[in-house]
Amino acid sequence: FTDKGKFLLAARRYRRGAHTEYIISLDAEDLCQGSKAYVGKLRSNFLGTNFTIYDSQAPYEGAKPSNGRAGRRVASKQISPQVPAVNFEVGQVSYKFNLLKSRGPRRMMCSLTCPSSLSEKISTKKKVEEFSPVPGYTVLKNKAPRWHQHLECWCLNFHGRVTVASVKNFQVVATIDQSKPGGKGDEETVLLQFGKVGDDTFTMDFRQPLSAFQAFAICLTSFGTKLACE
């Protein structure tokens, strides 16, 4: 929404009973789960501590859609059964409870479905076997900020991309390589960072293996009240 920017994704929040949902769309004016612009959604629990990310596209061949009913209601509008809103669960984001209400930064964990992008081929003398992409998981956590004695606040190095202090600011790094037994993640390489630069303006920077949709959904979890976290 800037002179030099290009529109990417939009989201709208809906309250559904004890849950909150964010509908994510390719069209800023058409944020409906039955729309052709619909790409997925984010759903939170009542406390705002656990979130589930749903993609409208299957993350890998053979993936089963999450349970849902045709003709469901979103924002008091009936979705036509002829336009099924299929959702595939592709990730979980959780924030650690702060039962003692102590002051300090939020702590979050992310578990994302990241299937192999290319099929593997194994050649033998007279036989070639092809393997379809299989689902894998990437486990992420927020990078722990350091306490700045002089400024008396928790700090992270955003390299100039974040300019306003906020509890919503975070950086995410990999923790475990699920493909290797006992493998450890690179806790220095930031895969996603999100932070405030104005009254209602934030920046989002991400890199592989995260997609734009996954990064956007994770950043959405930073908004809203978290009753048991702060």
CATH of the domain at 185: 3.20.90.10
Using a cut of 0.85, tell me whether the model's pTM lies above it.
no
- Give the model's confidence band at 69: pLDDT under 50 very low, under 70 low, under 90 confident, else very high: very low
Q: Is residue 74 part of a domain?
A: no
Q: Is residue 100 part of a domain?
A: yes
Q: Is residue 127 part of a domain?
A: no
- Give the model's confidence band at 221: pLDDT under 50 very low, under 70 low, under 90 confident, else very high: very high
Q: Please compute the mean of the pLDDT values over residues 59-74 and round it to a whole number.
A: 63
Q: Is residue 5 part of a domain?
A: no
The more confidently predicted of residues 4 and 75 is 4
| C-alpha separations of 97 from 94, 122, 210 in Å | 9, 47, 26
Q: Please compute the mean of the pLDDT values over residues 174-178 and round it to a whole number.
A: 68
Q: Find all residues with CB under 8 Å of 132, minimum gap 6, and list them.
A: 60, 61, 62, 119
Rounded Cα distance between 140 and 109, Å, is: 6
- Please check the confidence at residue 68 and state whether its pLDDT lies above 60: no
Q: What is the pLDDT of residue 42?
A: 94
Containing domain of residue 179, as a range?
10-66+83-116+135-222
Q: Is residue 71 part of a domain?
A: no
- Please check the confidence at residue 188 and state whether its pLDDT lies above 90: no
Q: Structural domain tally of the chain?
A: 1
**Burial class for 225, CB neighbours closer than 10 Å (0-12, 13-18, 19+):** exposed
Q: Is residue 212 part of a domain?
A: yes
Q: What is the pLDDT of residue 10?
A: 95
**Tens-digit pLDDT profile for residues 5-43:** 788 999 999 888 888 899 999 999 998 888 889 999 999
Q: What is the pLDDT of residue 101?
A: 53
**Tens-digit pLDDT profile for residues 97-134:** 765 555 556 788 898 887 544 333 333 334 434 433 44
Q: What is the pLDDT of residue 178?
A: 53
Q: Is residue 97 part of a domain?
A: yes
**Tens-digit pLDDT profile for residues 129-175:** 443 344 567 888 888 778 777 766 778 888 888 888 888 889 998 88
Identify whether the C-beta of residue 40 lies closer than 8 Å to the C-beta of residue 55: yes
Q: Please compute the mean of the pLDDT values over residues 72-92 and round it to a whole number.
A: 59
Q: Is residue 122 part of a domain?
A: no
